[in-house]
Amino acid sequence: MSGYNATNARNTETAPKSLLFSQTVAFSHYNNLSAQLPIDPATGALVAGGAKEQAAQCLTNIKAILESIGHA
């Protein structure tokens, strides 16, 4: 392949941050999202409840990341 592939790593305040990796990395016109844990970004703590509540928090975090890069 030839040509320029833009690479951009991003983090948003509305999803939990990691010191080890970016929330999303864009390669050309693709975006890789990092794994999301059921962490409330406001408190930094795991959400209370079972699998349903934790899955909902993971999806909320993913939505926040997608909105921050203009893909929601």
Structural domain of 42: 7-68
The reply to whether 56 falls in a domain is: yes
Tens digits of residue pLDDT in 18-63: 777 777 787 767 778 888 899 999 999 999 999 999 999 999 998 9
Tens digits of residue pLDDT in 2-21: 566 656 777 777 888 777 77
Q: Which position has the token pair 């959400």?
A: 47
pTM of the model: 0.73
The span from the CA of 15 to the CA of 3, in Å, is 33
pLDDT at 6: 59
pLDDT at 72: 59
pLDDT at 21: 74
The reply to whether 1 falls in a domain is: no
The total number of structural domains in the chain stands at: 1
